[in-house]
Amino acid sequence: MPSRDIVLRMSGISKRYGSLSALLDVDFALARGEVMALLGENGAGKSTLVKILAGLERADAGAVEIEGQPIRLRSPSHSLQAGVAYVTQELSIVGPLSVAENICLGGRDQQVVWTRARLADEVKPFLTLVGLESIDPSVPAGSLSVAQQQLVEIARLLSRNAQILILDEPTAALSDVEIEKVKAVVRKLASEGRSIIYVTHRLGEVFEIADRVTIFRNGRSFEPVEVKSLDIDELIQHLLGRRLEQMFPGRSETLGPIVLSLREVMAPGLSRPVSLELREGEILGLAGQLGSGANGVVRAIAGVVPSDSGSIELRGRPFRPGSIRDAIKEGIAYCSDDRKRDGIFGVRNLFENFTSTALWRISIGGLLSRPREIKIATELADFFEVDAARLGRHAAKLSGGNQQKVALGKWLGIEPSILLVEEPTRGVDVGARAEIYRHLRKLANQGLAIVFVSSDNQEVLGLADTVATFFRGRLVRVASADSLEAEELLRDVTHPGAEDVRFIQ
């Protein structure tokens, strides 16, 4: 795109962390009014580049030019002053303050006294910029949805006159409908001449939103590619450096007897009772966007929240877990969608993480047996293809993919018969994703019954044997994955018509 003028040029950027090269002589340029997607597996270097630009990290070597002026970015506030705004998944919204106050937060206001009305007037144009003109600026920001909060954050940065916006996985925590809103705002801002760097794991988004894409691999960047000239296979091939023939493993050949059945179960998050069945060796995918209620079903089975009414039968016997421990005793394992919060022990090593659910298996009469611990942890690492050399490392140190393997793997210690997983590959790069799918399928083939909840439709169709779709607290449809079209699934989870709502009794 030589005709467009360049707002940002980074050249020869290198950055090392200890012995690890995060970036190696990377060149990067951004044109005015374009959306540039950054793609790469975890650790490929895209986050590091973005952090250098945001003033959070300093490059060891290389030069940065903004609007043709050489600049050394010293701190986040310095970057913002230079017109670079960084929006991360961790929003800096202050919930109890009003939307207007949030937008003005940290800005330079000459006046000592301000009134609500004046603040509202001041922020109105920025709210309009991000498509929130219908929001009352005086409501507490905490009362908005996550997507709206994200837009408020963008508005705040725009009010500082940011010309280059870095959006770091802006849609990771959003539902499809909300994602559309954010994407619309991104397109609008670009069309008004702002430049956007869009970091994402979702390949689909790249095609919808980006003009060009820069791919990172092993700390190096490739020449930006026009999105128009790409197709998805090519993109994956670029990302991995090899063609990924099949992301998903095959389906289950034979299903065993029913292990779990839900009859008319009501749980927090559901608006109608749900009935479902799960067989040995089956992978059941619960598809739904944020607020669909699918999580509530899984959590009721896991004993996280008790079901309100209805009955659950486990291997033909009534089962009503009052706590997670109850479920664990029955061989039910549960991985939530927030593994950093409750899936791993960040400051403990992998031996300890892998064996944390079944301390009795590594101890004899209260004393820990080191050989048993090593044996179990090594087997699990082997099964999940976690490098055994990393077993002594802290879990927090691992990539998202490896952390997820640990969060899943630790459950094999209880020899579960049912595995419940929410968002099995959230924040996991493409390569590790395929591995996790393969491991889950392998477990199912060994007789484990798996239920997973996902807002990634592709994942649901690819991994599940049976799909149950959820929309706003109710079960829309249960169908075999082979018989379900991607379009049907998308409609089910976003806006099913009344005629589509069928209840499987």
Partner 1 sequence: MKSLRIVADLVQTGPPEELDPQIASNRRRQATAALVVALIVLLIVAGLTTPSFLTFENLLVVIRNASVTGIVALGMSYVTISGNLFALSAEELSILSACIFGWLMRANFGLSLSLVVTLLLSGGGGAVQGGIIALGADPIITTLAFGGFFRGLASVVSQNQNILLGSDAAEWLGTGRPLGVPTQSWAFIILTLVAWFVLQRTRFGRLLLLSGANRVAGTASGLRIGQAALLGLTLLGFCCGITGIFAAAQFGQAVANLFQGLNFDVIAAILVGGIALRGGQGSPIQAALGAVFISVLQNFMLLHDFTSGWRTTVVGILVVVATCGFHLLQRRRA
Binding site for partner 1 (CB under 8 A): 17-18, 324-325, 328, 334, 336, 341-348, 352, 356-357, 359-360, 363, 366-368, 393-394, 396-397, 410, 414
Residue whose CB is less far from partner 1, 105 or 414: 414
Least distance from C-beta 359 to partner 1, angstroms?
5
Least distance from C-beta 414 to partner 1, angstroms?
8
Residue whose CB is less far from partner 1, 243 or 370: 370
What's the half-sphere exposure (Cβ side, CA atoms, 13 Å) at 231?
Answer: 2
φ/ψ bin of 352: left (φ > 0), alpha (ψ from -120 to 50), beta (otherwise): alpha
Rounded to 5 degrees, what are φ and ψ at 235? Answer: -65, -45
Residue whose CB is less far from partner 1, 394 or 438: 394
Distance in angstroms (rounded) separating the CA atoms of residues 162 and 158: 5
Q: Which residues pair with 261 in a beta bridge?
A: 277, 313
Residue whose CB is less far from partner 1, 49 or 328: 328
Least distance from C-beta 287 to partner 1, angstroms?
24
Residue 276 makes CB contacts below 8 A (sequence gap 6+) with 261, 262, 284, 297, 468, 475, 478, 504
Residue whose CB is less far from partner 1, 363 or 445: 363
What's the half-sphere exposure (Cβ side, CA atoms, 13 Å) at 192?
Answer: 15
Least distance from C-beta 490 to partner 1, angstroms?
31
In the structure encoding, which two tokens stand for residue 118, read together? 């004046």
Least distance from C-beta 438 to partner 1, angstroms?
24
In the structure encoding, which two tokens stand for residue 46, read together? 């895209």
Burial track 147-164 (b if 16+ CB lie within 10 A, e otherwise): bbbbbbbbbbbbbbebbb
Rounded to 5 degrees, what are φ and ψ at 331? Answer: 80, 30
Least distance from C-beta 348 to partner 1, angstroms?
5
φ/ψ bin of 68: left (φ > 0), alpha (ψ from -120 to 50), beta (otherwise): left
Residue whose CB is less far from partner 1, 187 or 372: 372
Residue whose CB is less far from partner 1, 348 or 495: 348
Least distance from C-beta 86 to partner 1, angstroms?
14
Least distance from C-beta 279 to partner 1, angstroms?
25
* E strands, 253-305, in order: 258-266, 274-279, 283-287
Residue 1 makes CB contacts below 8 A (sequence gap 6+) with 31, 34, 211, 212
Residue whose CB is less far from partner 1, 27 or 60: 60
Least distance from C-beta 383 to partner 1, angstroms?
18
Rounded to 5 degrees, what are φ and ψ at 134? Answer: -85, -5
Q: What's CA 370's distance to the chain center, in Å? A: 36
- Say how many C-beta atoms besides its own lie within 10 A of residue 19's C-beta: 5
Residue whose CB is less far from partner 1, 123 or 344: 344
